[in-house]
């Protein structure tokens, strides 16, 4: 998470949406850069609302705008799946080395989700709070141009991004049955992604 105090902006770091590259490029411009622990670096909106927003409101008497990036849900799950196939996770409960992508998504849709498929939900991460706190600026991962233009204008900078934290390429196939189950169980994620920019 990056806080740009003078520009009245907080960049929330949704996992697996390419935010590490933006954090690397923009951290020198930020008033505050939260890199660790992961629970704070990747603070969802509800955690930002509970811990960070009151600090800015009570101490500084201001409410900052928030920005986040969302990835198409199947692509987002594919990134998690590939990330968890890396050799350093081999033998651990959250490794996906011995399951297919279809099996991973089937497990993700279960009520009692096994460790290897426990990755949360982007819609839940970005869910507006009862007090009205919501993501002010939401961009699609797949359409980087509007995000870059917004940041360059708002922060008065020229972005030079490196590809970082990239998972290895591989085929990610879902059966129609699994895809339909995912779209039904995580309808909020698909609806939110489709609503961006509409």
Q: The domain that contains 191 carries what CATH number?
A: 3.40.50
pTM of the shown model? 0.92
pLDDT tens for each residue of 137-182: 999 999 999 999 999 999 999 988 876 666 667 889 999 999 999 9
Q: What is the mean pLDDT of residues 44-63?
A: 91
Q: Is 65 in contact with 53 (CB distance < 8 Å)?
A: no
Confidence tier at 62 by pLDDT (50, 70, 90): confident
Segments forming the whole domain that contains residue 115 = 2-195
Predicted confidence at residue 59, as pLDDT, reads: 84
pLDDT exceeds 90 at position 11: yes
- Number of other residues whose CB lies within 10 A of the CB of residue 115: 11
Which contiguous run of DSSP H or E holds residue 4?
strand 2-4
CA–CA distance, 158 with 36 (Å, rounded to integer): 26
CA–CA distance, 76 with 116 (Å, rounded to integer): 15
Percent of the chain whose pLDDT exceeds 70: 96
pLDDT exceeds 70 at position 194: yes
How many domains, the chain? Answer: 1
Three-state SS sequence of 117-147 = HCCCCHHHHCCCCCCCCCCCEEEECCCHHHH
Q: Is 43 in contact with 113 (CB distance < 8 Å)?
A: no
């Amino acid at each position: 998470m990056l806080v740009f105090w003078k520009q009245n902006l907080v960049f929330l770091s949704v996992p697996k949406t390419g935010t590490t590259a933006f954090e690397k490029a923009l951290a020198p411009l930020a008033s505050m850069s939260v890199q660790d622990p992961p629970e704070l670096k990747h603070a969802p909106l509800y955690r930002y609302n509970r811990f960070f927003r009151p600090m800015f409101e009570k101490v500084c008497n201001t409410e900052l705008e928030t920005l986040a990036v969302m990835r198409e849900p199947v692509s987002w799950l594919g990134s998690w799946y590939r990330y968890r196939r890396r050799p350093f996770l081999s033998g651990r409960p959250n490794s996906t080395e011995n399951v297919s992508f279809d099996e991973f998504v089937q497990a993700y849709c279960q009520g009692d989700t096994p460790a290897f498929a426990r990755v949360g939900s982007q819609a839940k991460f970005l869910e507006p709070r009862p007090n009205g706190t919501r993501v002010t600026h939401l961009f699609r991962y797949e359409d980087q141009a509007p995000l870059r233009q917004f940041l360059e204008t708002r922060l008065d900078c020229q972005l030079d991004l490196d590809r970082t934290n990239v998972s290895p390429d591989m085929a990610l196939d879902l059966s129609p049955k699994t895809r339909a189950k995912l779209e039904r169980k995580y309808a909020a994620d698909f609806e939110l992604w489709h609503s961006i920019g509409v």
